[in-house]
Amino acid sequence: MKPTNAPKTYRVKSFGCQMNVYDGERMAEMLATRGIKPAPEGEEADLVVLNTCHIREKAAEKVYSDIGRLQKADGTKPLIAVAGCVAQAEGEEIMARAPAVSMVVGPQAYHRLPEMLDKAVQGERATDTDMPAIAKFAALPERRKIGPAAFLTVQEGCDKFCTYCVVPYTRGAEISRPYSDLVTEARKLVEAGAREITLLGQNVSAWSGEDDRGRRVGLAGLIRDLADIDGLARIRYTTSHPADMDDELIAAHGEIDKLMPFLHLPVQAGSDRVLRAMNRSHTAESYLKLLERFRAARPDLALSGDFIVGFPGETDAEFEETLKLVDEVRYAQAFSFKYSPRPGTPAASMDGQVAKEVMDERLQRLQAALNRDQLAFNEGTVGRTCEVLVERKGKHPGQWLGKTPWLQSAWFEGDYAIGDLVEVDLLEAGPNSLRASVREGALSLA
């Protein structure tokens, strides 16, 4: 490649999960410390980072088409870095197939992006897909000014090896970031304006560490200590695996006010045979029992889940069991996907791959049931009084949008600022949001 001028502007485009959003923010912070500025809206940057997702569908194809389309106003290509899980899984192919790409950097190596950038400016191409992750966090710069709802990666990687999933291959083995690093980063986030922190991990409930008195603590212990941070009003966590939910975490939902009444606990399917084939290590019944315990600790808990339809070999009767489970749980929201064979995973070579039309029909039926339950959940909260964290302006002047404790979007009118916690009455429910009115004189900055 030809040497080029050092980039003045950057854009990080993150796809996929919230952990990619977090990684994207950290990459942006690193570029900012080098004096590179975010590109103005509508203008292509001198340096583009495609922070990719490999979990489903034709992820790699999408990356190539994005690369093809990138162009600056003068017709030249920007410097391009491919980061994230596609970079990890298919780094060499990307280098071979896409000459416009000068940097390929995996999710555990992106702290090296600045060095790679120096090389790229000299005209050298570089790939770094080293694992594991712990060196990365130590090498990242400090947190900068952020919005009121922030993410904090506490755990990365996965040892569960569900047979459909690429994560154990792209993000590597489970690692927990050290307790003291997390408390420090959480404090920095709060100083930088965060009122709510969502603790992130592919298996966040598997986090464990040693607190500042040398005691072994799990996620519940970490949440308890983070709840002591002044100015932090809300804590959430995602995503969990049913196998790692311990008594202490369940109890925490009933005891820690700042821990929001929301639980994202993927189940994937309702049939025990399918769950076994997925290597999920739980049954439909053990999952439902676990939810009962959470609901006993926190009766107003809103539940969320992930589902896959059309896993290899799934019969009509087995799919009906998924619908039955949904009817029992009554999720407040959920994500559902058609099974997508991922290269290198055991399920990709299983017999009985399900036809696309069958998957389409199952997904439609499942989503109809989930949408029905989401609306019912929202309607069930009408009449409640709760706090809303103001996250952004609404479409109309004087309108604000925020999140309820149950992670619903609520909008209301008044004279507020982003980051305010406002007490509202929930008045009217739609499928995706609620209309609220602010209680007279209510503005809490707790």
Residues within the interface to ligand 5AD (CB under 6 A):
55-56, 164-165, 266, 268, 306, 308, 337, 339-340, 342
The yes or no reply on residue 52 touching ligand SF4 (CB under 6 A) is: no
Listed in sequence order, the DSSP H helices in 227-340 are: 247-255, 272-277, 284-297, 316-329
Q: Candidates 98-106, 125-133, 165-173, 429-437: pick the segment binding ligand SF4 (CB under 6 A).
A: 165-173
CB of 171 to ligand SF4, least distance (A): 8
Helical axes 18-33 vs 84-97, angle rounded to 10°: 70
Q: Pick one of 9, 51, 170, 202: the residue that binds ligand SF4 (CB under 6 A).
A: 202
The residue among 253 and 342 lying less far from ligand 5AD, judged by its C-beta, is 342
Q: Are 415 and 398 in contact (CB under 8 A)?
A: yes
Q: How far is the CB of 241 from ligand SF4 (least distance, A)?
A: 5
Max CA pair span of the chain:
64
For residue 146, which of 195, 192, 196 has the smallest C-alpha distance? 192
Closest CA relative to residue 343, chosen from 60, 51, 14, 16: 60
Does 168 contact ligand SF4 by CB under 6 A? yes
Rounded distance between C-alpha atoms, residue 258 and residue 198, angstroms: 12
Using CB atoms, what's the residue nearest to ligand 5AD? 306
- HSE-up (13 A, CA, CB side) for residue 170: 27
Q: 3: exposed, middle or buried (C-beta count within 10 Å: 0-12, 13-18, 19+)?
A: exposed
With left for phi above 0 and alpha for psi between -120 and 50, is residue 410 left, alpha or beta? beta
Q: How many CB atoms lie within 10 A of CB 164?
A: 24
Report how far residue 246's alpha carbon sits from residue 219's, in angstroms, rounded to the nearest whole number: 9
Piece of the chain touching ligand SF4 by CB under 6 A; list 26-34, 148-156, 164-172, 405-413 = 164-172
Radius of gyration of the chain (CA): 23
Name the binder of 339 from ligand 5AD, ligand SF4, none, CB < 5-8 A by kind.
Answer: ligand 5AD
**Interface with ligand SF4: number of residues (CB under 6 A):** 10
Contact partner, 168, from ligand SF4, ligand 5AD, none, Cβ < 5-8 Å per class: ligand SF4
| CB 401 to ligand SF4: min, Å | 30
Establish if 249 lies at the interface with ligand SF4 (CB under 6 A): no
| CB of 162 or CB of 438, closer to ligand 5AD | 162
Q: Which of 243, 238, 309 lies closest to 280, judged by CA?
A: 243
Q: Which does 337 bind (CB under 5 to 8 A by kind): ligand 5AD, ligand SF4, none?
A: ligand 5AD
Joined tokens for residue 116: 């790679």
For ligand 5AD, the closer of residues 95 and 325 by Cβ is 325
Residue position matching structure tokens 């709802």: 149
Among 241, 253, 264, 362, binds ligand SF4 (CB under 6 A): 241
The interface mask with ligand SF4, positions 122-161, x = CB under 6 A, is ------------------------------------x-xx
Using the minimum distance from each CB to ligand SF4, give the nearer residue, 102 or 238: 238
Q: Which is nearer to ligand SF4, 334 or 421 (CB)?
A: 334
Residue number, 137 or 339, with CB nearest to ligand 5AD: 339
- Reference 280, options 308, 252, 303, 310; nearest CA is 308
* Least distance from ligand SF4 to the Cβ atom of residue 277, Å: 13
Per CB under 6 A, residues contacting ligand SF4 are: 158, 160-162, 165, 167-168, 202-203, 241
